[in-house]
């Protein structure tokens, strides 16, 4: 790796990206969930049919290639709808008076 290249590159050659809307400080973390599968199984015949998988469940441990496959439907994680939720750092334990 040359001195001008980004040192944050991951193994597959893509550079690490900041999430859209992520703050500059590292205290705010985004939680990513993968919901229903949107893979069109009938695309080859000109139709539209999804398998009904409601949420992505990893087939293997995190960091392994199997972690990118859904245990329920067998599709790659990229076929599942991605939902980014910003983690709120607030003290919600105080009771509101009113």
**Alpha-carbon gap, residue 28 to 21, rounded angstroms:** 10
Domain layout of the chain by residue ranges: 30-86
Helix (H, G, I), strand (E, B), or coil: what is residue 93? coil
What's residue 23's pLDDT? 46
**Alpha-carbon gap, residue 78 to 70, rounded angstroms:** 10
The residue to which tokens 């919600």 are assigned? 92
What's residue 19's pLDDT? 46
Q: Which residue, among 47, 44, 33, 41, has the nearest Cα to 77 in the 3D structure?
A: 33
**Alpha-carbon gap, residue 95 to 6, rounded angstroms:** 47
What's residue 94's pLDDT? 59
The pTM of the full predicted model, rounded to 2 decimals, is: 0.57
CB 37, CB 76: distance < 8 Å: no
What's residue 24's pLDDT? 47
What's residue 86's pLDDT? 81
pLDDT along the chain (98 residues), means of 10: 50 47 58 93 94 92 94 94 81 60
């Amino acid at each position: 790796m040359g001195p001008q290249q980004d040192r944050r590159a991951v193994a597959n050659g893509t550079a690490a990206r900041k999430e859209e809307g992520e703050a500059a400080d590292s205290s705010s973390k985004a939680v990513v969930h993968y919901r229903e599968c949107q893979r069109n199984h009938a695309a080859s015949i000109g139709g539209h049919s999804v398998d009904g998988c409601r949420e992505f469940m990893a087939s293997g441990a995190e960091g392994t290639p199997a972690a990118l496959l859904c245990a329920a439907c067998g599709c790659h994680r990229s076929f599942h709808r991605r939902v980014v939720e910003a983690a709120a750092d607030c003290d919600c334990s105080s009771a509101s008076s009113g």
